[in-house]
C-alpha cells in the first residue's frame, strides 16, 4: 500500500489517495487509478508498480511532459520511490508516502481561550508588576526637574503602550500561523527583557563608576543587551512557529546580528580609531569609604601615557590623510 | 578677532552686507564729516595715504583672494608691517597661497614674509623697493585721550581714514593691546594708527564692536624689526615651525607661576578651590535660584581673554577654570546623582576641525587626596600642524556626599604636554575641604 499526496503550490496537501493494487495507473483518463485534473498530464501518464526487490517504481508511459524531479530536476523515465519522494507530473506535484512511516508526536495544545488575554500565573503577575516598578523607578531617578506623579506615570505608560503594540504585533502573527493569540506571553517577553536591560545598565554604571578605565564595562553591558534581545526574539518566535529550538535561536541571533551590525555601521563612518573618546562618566551616590581610589601620583602616571597615545594618533591621522589624497 | 576676515565665506558675506549698507553709511559719513569736519584727518590722509597698501592672500589654483587686510611701509627698502592673521593662510599652506600687495596707484606687487610674531599678531613683509614713502614709528606712547588716525581698507571698500582716541594699554592682559576708541572694521587689520604728526602708535588688530577697538603697540613692531635686522638673520625655512616655536616659548612665560601654593582660593560650599590664578584672568560668578528646580547651582568661572589666532580654523592660548557647586535640600541621593552625573558628563573641547587637532583621548580615575574622593578625568588632544602643543582639560567631581556636588574644570590650550600634566596635578592638589 502507498499513500499519494497531491500538493498545492505552497507544499500543503490538497488530496490524499491510498493505492492498494499494483500496477496502478496515473493520468487524466477517468479509468486511471489516480485521476489527475491537469491539462498538462496525459490521459495515461505513468504507471506505479513493484520492482523485483519489492520497492515501488514510477514509470513514464511516453507522456508529453514526462516525469520531472522537482526543484529544477530534469525529466526522468523511471523513478524509484522512497517514503517522501516528490515528483512532478505536468503541473501537479505528488508526494509518495509509505504508510508505515513514523509520524512526529503531537504538539502540546494550548487549552486557553483563543482570543482572550489568558489567565495569569502568579509568576506572570510578579513579572508585570516588577517591570512597571522598574520603569517607574528609572523614570523617577533620571528626571532632572521637579517631577509630578502625572509626569512619571505618563512616561511609564508611554513605554508600556509601546510594549503592548509590539506584543500585539506578535500576537497577531501567532493568530495567523498558530491560531493562538497569546498576547499575555508576548507582552511579558519584552517586559522581562526591559527589566534585565535596565538592571544590567545600572549595574554597568556602578561598575564603571567604581572601577573606571580598567575594564570596558560598556562592552559588557552591550553584550548582555544583545543576548537579551536574542533570547526575547527566540521566545517570540517559539510562540508563533513550530521551529526547532536550534533554528529559532539561529534565526534570532542572525536578525539581532544584522540589526546590530547596521546600527554599528551607521554609528561609525569607518574612522572609529579617530573618534573622540570623551564618553559618559557616571557618578553614583556611594559613600566615600566604599569607593576604590588611587593617589594623584598614580593617576597622573597613567595620564602620562596619553601623550604617546595622542602623538601616535597624529601620525596615523597624517597617514590616513595622505591615503585619502591619493 | 572680529577685525580679521576669518574665512572667505564670512568675508564675502560681509562684503555683500556692506553693499546693502553702503548707501546708509555713505550718507552717515557725509553727515559726520560735514559736522565734525576735522581738517587734521584730511591733511593726515593726504600726507600718508600712499604709505598704506592693501595686502591680500591669493589661493593659487583659483587665483581668487582668500583674505584681505592692510599693511604699511616702515623702511625705504620695501619693508612692510601687517597682521599675522592677514597672511596666516600663506604660513599654514605655502603650497596653496601666495601674498601680494596693491598700492595706492593700483600696482600689484608680490610680497614675501620675512618674520612673524604670532603671539602679538604681527608679520614683517618685504617687497621690491619702489621708492615708496614710509612711516616713522612713535618713540613713546601718546597721552590718554590723544587724537589718533587709523588707516586701512575696511571691507575692501578702498583706503579710508578713521578718527579716534588713544585710551592707554589694556589692563590685566597676557600680551599688550592698546585700547583705541574708534571704529575698526574687517580689512583694516594690519593698517597703521598714527598721531596727527604721522608717527605710528599701533597696528590695527581687532575690535569688540561699537567704538571699542584694539591695536598692537608699536614697540612690538620695533622688536620685530630689530629681530629681522640683526646681522645674520635668516627667514625661517618653515614659518609654521616658527609659529610652533613662538607658541612653545610663549606658554612657558606665563604658565610657571599658576596654581602654586600661594595661589588665591575661594570657598564654595564645603570646598576650597582655586580662583584667579594670575592677574590676566577675569572671573565671574553666577547662581540659579529658580524655584522651579529642585536643586541649586552656583558657578564661578575665570578665564583669560587673550587668545591667539593661528590660522582660520585654529586658535589657541585660552586658559579657563570653572567651578559648579550643586546642592539640594529636597532630592534623594539617587535623583541628585542623576543630575550631578549630567552636569559632569559630556564635557568637550571647543570644536576644531580634525585637520588641525587630533581626536581626544582621556583617562578616568577615582583619586583620593586631603580627605576628598574625586572623580577625575583628564583629556587631551594634539595640534597636528604644531608638534609639541596640546589642548588638555582636567575635570573633577567631588564624591561621597549625598546632597552636595562640586564639578571643577581646568582647560588649557596651546601648551606642552608636560605643562598640561604639571598644571593639572597642581590644580587637583589645590582642591580641598574648606576649613570649618
Residue B1 near residue B316, CB atoms below 8 Å: no
Report the pLDDT averaged over residues A291-312.
92
Among residues B210, B235, B260, the one where a domain terminates is B235
The answer to the question of residue B424 being in a domain is: yes
Check: pTM over 0.90? Answer yes or no: no
Task: Pick B402's closest partner by Cβ from A275, A277, A285.
Answer: A285
**Order of strands, edge to edge, in the sheet holding B390-399?**
B281-288, B296-304, B320-327, B404-415, B390-399, B372-382, B361-369
B427 reaches A (C-beta below 8 A): no
> CA angle B16-B20-B21, nearest 5°?
110
Contact A303 B364 (CB under 8 A): no
**How many other β-carbons are positioned within 10 Å of the β-carbon of residue B230?**
9
Q: What is the ipTM of this complex?
A: 0.80
Same domain, B121 and B92: yes
Same domain, B179 and B253: no
The answer to the question of residue B15 being in a domain is: yes
Cβ-Cβ contacts under 8 Å between A and B: the total is 147
Same domain, B177 and B271: no
Contact B338 A313 (CB under 8 A): no
Report the pLDDT averaged over residues A57-79.
86
d(CA B56, CA B68) in angstroms, rounded, equals 4
Task: Give the pLDDT score at B277.
Answer: 85
Report the pLDDT averaged over residues A20-47.
92
The answer to the question of residue B241 being in a domain is: no
The answer to the question of residue B403 being in a domain is: yes
Among residues B184, B206, B235, the one where a domain terminates is B235
Task: Pick B344's closest partner by Cβ from A281, A285, A311.
Answer: A281
Contacts of B370 in chain A (CB under 8 A): none
Residue A23, preceding peptide bond in cis (omega within 30° of 0): yes
Residue B263 near residue B430, CB atoms below 8 Å: yes
Report the pLDDT averaged over residues A239-255.
87
Task: Pick A274's closest partner by Cβ from B345, B359, B397.
Answer: B359
More confident residue, A188 or A326: A188
Task: Give the pLDDT score at B347.
Answer: 84
Same domain, B78 and B208: yes
The answer to the question of residue B47 being in a domain is: yes
B42 reaches A (C-beta below 8 A): no
Count of alpha carbons within 13 Å of B269, Cβ hemisphere only?
A: 23
- The domain tally of chain B equals 2
Contact A144 B292 (CB under 8 A): no
What angle do the packed helices A183-210 and A217-240 form, to 10 degrees?
Answer: 170
List the single residue in A with minimal CA-CA distance to B332.
A141
Same domain, B216 and B255: no
Per-residue DSSP letters for A99-161?
TT---PPPPPP--S-SSS--PPPHHHHHHHHHHHHHHHHHHHHT--S---HHHHHHHHHHHHH
- The list of chain B residues with pLDDT below 70 reads 1-39, 290
Segment (H or E) for B34? helix B8-36
d(CA A175, CA A114) in angstroms, rounded, equals 8
B330, three cell numbers: 529636597
Closest CA–CA distance from residue A269 to any residue of chain B (Å): 14
List the single residue in B with minimal CA-CA distance to A294.
B367
Same domain, B227 and B291: no
The answer to the question of residue B240 being in a domain is: no
Tens-place pLDDT, residues A265-288: 776 655 666 666 666 788 999 988
Same domain, B60 and B151: yes
Same domain, B193 and B231: yes
Task: Pick A277's closest partner by Cβ from B293, B354, B362.
Answer: B362
Count of alpha carbons within 13 Å of B417, Cβ hemisphere only?
A: 21
Residue B271 lies in domain:
248-433
Tens-place pLDDT, residues A83-141: 888 999 988 999 999 888 888 888 776 665 544 455 668 888 888 888 888 888 888 88
Among residues B208, B235, B262, the one where a domain terminates is B235
Same domain, B386 and B364: yes
> CA angle B292-B297-B300, nearest 5°?
145
Same domain, B268 and B214: no
Q: What is the band of A11 on the pLDDT scale with cuts at 50, 70, 90? A: confident
The answer to the question of residue B133 being in a domain is: yes
Which one-letter DSSP state was computed for residue B162? Answer: E
Task: Pick A146's closest partner by Cβ from B294, B355, B373.
Answer: B294
Tens-place pLDDT, residues A223-234: 999 999 999 999
Give the domain CATH number at B109: 2.40.10.120
d(CA A49, CA A283) in angstroms, rounded, equals 81
Q: What is the band of A5 on the pLDDT scale with cuts at 50, 70, 90? A: very high
Same domain, B202 and B109: yes
The answer to the question of residue B242 being in a domain is: no
Give the domain CATH number at B259: 3.40.1000
B365 reaches A (C-beta below 8 A): yes
Same domain, B266 and B226: no
Task: Give the pLDDT score at A109.
Answer: 65
Task: Give the pLDDT score at A318.
Answer: 86
Amino acid at each position: 500500500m502507498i499513500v499519494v499526496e497531491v500538493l498545492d503550490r505552497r507544499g500543503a496537501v490538497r488530496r490524499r489517495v491510498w493505492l492498494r493494487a499494483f500496477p496502478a495507473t496515473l493520468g487524466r483518463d477517468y479509468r486511471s487509478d489516480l485521476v489527475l485534473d491537469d491539462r498538462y498530464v496525459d490521459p495515461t501518464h505513468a504507471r506505479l508498480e513493484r520492482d523485483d526487490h519489492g520497492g515501488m517504481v514510477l514509470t513514464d508511459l511516453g507522456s508529453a511532459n514526462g516525469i520531472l524531479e522537482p526543484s529544477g530536476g530534469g525529466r526522468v523515465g523511471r523513478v524509484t520511490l522512497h517514503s517522501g519522494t516528490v515528483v512532478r507530473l505536468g503541473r501537479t506535484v505528488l508526494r509518495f508516502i509509505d504508510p508505515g512511516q513514523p509520524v512526529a508526536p503531537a504538539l502540546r495544545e494550548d487549552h486557553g481561550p483563543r482570543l482572550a488575554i489568558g489567565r495569569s500565573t502568579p509568576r506572570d503577575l510578579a513579572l508585570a508588576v516588577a517591570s512597571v516598578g522598574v520603569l517607574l523607578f528609572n523614570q523617577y531617578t533620571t528626571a532632572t526637574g521637579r517631577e509630578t506623579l502625572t509626569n512619571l506615570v505618563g512616561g511609564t505608560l508611554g513605554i508600556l503602550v509601546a510594549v503592548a503594540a509590539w506584543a500585539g504585533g506578535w500576537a497577531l502573527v501567532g493568530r495567523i500561523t498558530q491560531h493562538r493569540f497569546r498576547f499575555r506571553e508576548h507582552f511579558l517577553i519584552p517586559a522581562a527583557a526591559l527589566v534585565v536591560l535596565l538592571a544590567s545598565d545600572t549595574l554597568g554604571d556602578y561598575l564603571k563608576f567604581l572601577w573606571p578605565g580598567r575594564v570596558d564595562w560598556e562592552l559588557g553591558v552591550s553584550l548582555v543587551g544583545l543576548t537579551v534581545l536574542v533570547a526575547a526574539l527566540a521566545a517570540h518566535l517559539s510562540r508563533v512557529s513550530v521551529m526547532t529550538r536550534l533554528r529559532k535561536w539561529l534565526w534570532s541571533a542572525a536578525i539581532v546580528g544584522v540589526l546590530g551590525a547596521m546600527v554599528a555601521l551607521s554609528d561609525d563612518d569607518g574612522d572609529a580609531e579617530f573618534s573622540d573618546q570623551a564618553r559618559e562618566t557616571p557618578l553614583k551616590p556611594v559613600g566615600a569609604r566604599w569607593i576604590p581610589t588611587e593617589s594623584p601620583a598614580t593617576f597622573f602616571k597613567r595620564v602620562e601615557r596619553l601623550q604617546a597615545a595622542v602623538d601616535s594618533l597624529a601620525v596615523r591621522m597624517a597617514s590616513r590623510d595622505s591615503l585619502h589624497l591619493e | 578677532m572680529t577685525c580679521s576676515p576669518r574665512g572667505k565665506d564670512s568675508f564675502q558675506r560681509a562684503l555683500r552686507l556692506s553693499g546693502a549698507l553702503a548707501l546708509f553709511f555713505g550718507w552717515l559719513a557725509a553727515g559726520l564729516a560735514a559736522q565734525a569736519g576735522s581738517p587734521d584727518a584730511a591733511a593726515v590722509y593726504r600726507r600718508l595715504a600712499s604709505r598704506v597698501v592693501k595686502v591680500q592672500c591669493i589661493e593659487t589654483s583659483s587665483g581668487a583672494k582668500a583674505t584681505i587686510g592692510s599693511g604699511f611701509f616702515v623702511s625705504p627698502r620695501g619693508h612692510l608691517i601687517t597682521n599675522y592673521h592677514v597672511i596666516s593662510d600663506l604660513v599654514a599652506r605655502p603650497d596653496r597661497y601666495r601674498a601680494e600687495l596693491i598700492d595706492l596707484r593700483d600696482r600689484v606687487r608680490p610680497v614675501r614674509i620675512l618674520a612673524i610674531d604670532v603671539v602679538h599678531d604681527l608679520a614683517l613683509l618685504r617687497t621690491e623697493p619702489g621708492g615708496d614713502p614710509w612711516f616713522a614709528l612713535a618713540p613713546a606712547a601718546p597721552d590718554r585721550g590723544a587724537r589718533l588716525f587709523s588707516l586701512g581698507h575696511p571691507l575692501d571698500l578702498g583706503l579710508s581714514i578713521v578718527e579716534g582716541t588713544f585710551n592707554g594699554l589694556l589692563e590685566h592682559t597676557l600680551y599688550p593691546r592698546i585700547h583705541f576708541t574708534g571704529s575698526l572694521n574687517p580689512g583694516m587689520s594690519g593698517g597703521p594708527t598714527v598721531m596727527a604728526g604721522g608717527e605710528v602708535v599701533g597696528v590695527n588688530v581687532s575690535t569688540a564692536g561699537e567704538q571699542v577697538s584694539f591695536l598692537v603697540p608699536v614697540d612690538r613692531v620695533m622688536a620685530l624689526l630689530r629681530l629681522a635686522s640683526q646681522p645674520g638673520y635668516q627667514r625661517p625655512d618653515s614659518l609654521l615651525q616658527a609659529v610652533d616655536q613662538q607658541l612653545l616659548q610663549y606658554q612657558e612665560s606665563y604658565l610657571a607661576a599658576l596654581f602654586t601654593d600661594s595661589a588665591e582660593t575661594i570657598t564654595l560650599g564645603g570646598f576650597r578651590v582655586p580662583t584667579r590664578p594670575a592677574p590676566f584672568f577675569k572671573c565671574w560668578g553666577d547662581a540659579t535660584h529658580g524655584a522651579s528646580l529642585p536643586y541649586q547651582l552656583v558657578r564661578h568661572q575665570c578665564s583669560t581673554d587673550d587668545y591667539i589666532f593661528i590660522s582660520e580654523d585654529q586658535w589657541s592660548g585660552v586658559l579657563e577654570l570653572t567651578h559648579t557647586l550643586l546642592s539640594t535640600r529636597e532630592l534623594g541621593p539617587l535623583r541628585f546623582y542623576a543630575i550631578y552625573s549630567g552636569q559632569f558628563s559630556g564635557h568637550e573641547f571647543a570644536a576644531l576641525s580634525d585637520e588641525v587637532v587630533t581626536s581626544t583621548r582621556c583617562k578616568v580615575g577615582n583619586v583620593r587626596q586631603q580627605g576628598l574622593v574625586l572623580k577625575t578625568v583628564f583629556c587631551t588632544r594634539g595640534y597636528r600642524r604644531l608638534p609639541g602643543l596640546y589642548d588638555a582639560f582636567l575635570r573633577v567631581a567631588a564624591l561621597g556626599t549625598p546632597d552636595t556636588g562640586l564639578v571643577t574644570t581646568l582647560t588649557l590650550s596651546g601648551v606642552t604636554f608636560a605643562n598640561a600634566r604639571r598644571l593639572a596635578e597642581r590644580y587637583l592638589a589645590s582642591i580641598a575641604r574648606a576649613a570649618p
